[in-house]
Homo-oligomer: A and B are copies of this chain.
């Protein structure tokens, strides 16, 4: 990646991050609407932070199929709302008990536990409300497919299921296939859904959806390997959340399983595999390759 491409991508990324922020801002009810406390807390949870990796993937996949940008905005919000709800619930005392997220107090610390519980619940509902809205697609069948993909990705055989396996695994040593089984659900499912939903923002007859899905799967797994490396090697200030949490929580990670060096090698292999999957796509997947670069070389 040359410096100019990189600058170009940086610019695009900032632009999409602003887009999704604005779209979320107008989608989330304000505190003018009752219940004011819940609506403030939902906005605190979903606005003003994060890398917005899932929306970026949706926008990039949307570009690939020349999807309608307004429609991709809705999709980007929906996947980010599911992600935001999962963070709020995961940070709660009965789960990971984290007090810091994106450099700010977590929702249950800033408000209280009951509010955090309801914020997560309501953000999940809002994601499905967004996807079912009339402004989204001109093809209700395709729109329903989006609802189904997101519901499966979020549910007991997707993200929530991955979380459950994560909790069951504390203090146990998992094999690499077991660790992959967990992460394919916990992080991977919603990342795949982000790419699929972005690509469904237009008729996708011309796109190799299998190649796109292979990319998403590998990128999702790589995202987790890099997360494990960052948790082990970064400072809390850089991450904006408590560093070294996996080890202190006795959680199995790619670092605890493979060690730092082999985890780095795995990340590099997954990066190459992700890029290879893109070769079958128009313009070599264009923006998706840049996002893979961002995922695999980020430091937060």
Picked from B114, B156, B164, the residue with its CB within 8 Å of the CB of A125 is B156
- Identify A132's interface contact among B121, B126, B148, CB under 8 A: B148
Task: For A115, give the chain B residue with the smallest CB separation.
Answer: B164
Residues facing B in A135-190 (CB within 8 A) are 140-141, 143-145, 147-148, 150-152, 154-158, 160-161, 163-165, 167-168, 181
Q: Which residues of B contact A161 (CB under 8 A)?
A: 34-35, 38, 122
A128 part of interface (Cβ distance < 8 Å): yes
Instruction: Determine the chain B residues whose CB is within 8 A of the CB of A167 once the complex forms.
Output: 114-115, 118
| Contact (Cβ within 8 A) A132 B144 | yes
Whether A124 sits at the interface, judged by CB under 8 Å, is yes
**In the assembled complex, A131 has its CB within 8 A of some CB on chain B:** yes
With A128-B147, A140-B140, A148-B133 given, is the CB distance from A92 to B117 under 8 Å? yes
CA distance A34 to B144 in the complex (A): 26
Q: Which of B37, B126, B155, B168 is in CB contact (< 8 Å) with A126?
A: B155
B157 A29 Cβ-Cβ under 8 A: yes
Question: Which of the residues B116, B140, B152, B156 comes within 8 Å of A144, measured between beta carbons?
Answer: B140
Known contacts: A89-B121, A125-B124, A148-B133. The answer to whether A164 contacts B38 by CB under 8 A is yes
Using Cβ atoms and an 8 Å threshold, which residues of chain B touch A144? 132, 140, 143-144, 147
Cα A124 to Cα B158 in complex, Å, equals 13
In the complex, A141 Cα to B142 Cα: how many Å? 10
- Give A39 to B132 CA distance when docked, in angstroms: 27
**In the assembled complex, how far is the CB of residue A59 from the closest CB belonging to chain B, in whole angstroms?**
23
Q: Is A129 in contact with B114, judged by CB distance below 8 angstroms?
A: no
A95 beta carbon closer than 8 Å to chain B: yes
Residue A120 CB within 8 A of the other chain: yes
Given contacts A94-B112, A143-B144, 15 further A-B contacts (CB under 8 A): A35-B164, A42-B156, A89-B117, A94-B113, A117-B117, A118-B160, A118-B164, A120-B121, A121-B121, A125-B156, A128-B128, A132-B147, A140-B143, A140-B144, A144-B144
When the two chains form the complex, which single residue of B116, B131, B164 contacts A147, counting CB atoms closer than 8 Å?
B131
Q: How far is the CA of A167 from the CA of B34 in the complex (A)?
A: 13
Chain B residues within 8 Å of A147, by CB: 128, 131-132, 144, 147
Q: Which 6 A-B pairs have the closest CB atoms?
A: A125-B155, A94-B113, A129-B151, A38-B164, A140-B140, A132-B147
A125 close to B33 (CB less than 8 A) = no
For A34, give its contact among B129, B154, B165 (CB under 8 Å): B165
A133: B residues at CB distance < 8 A = 148
A27 to chain B minimum Cβ distance, whole angstroms, is 11
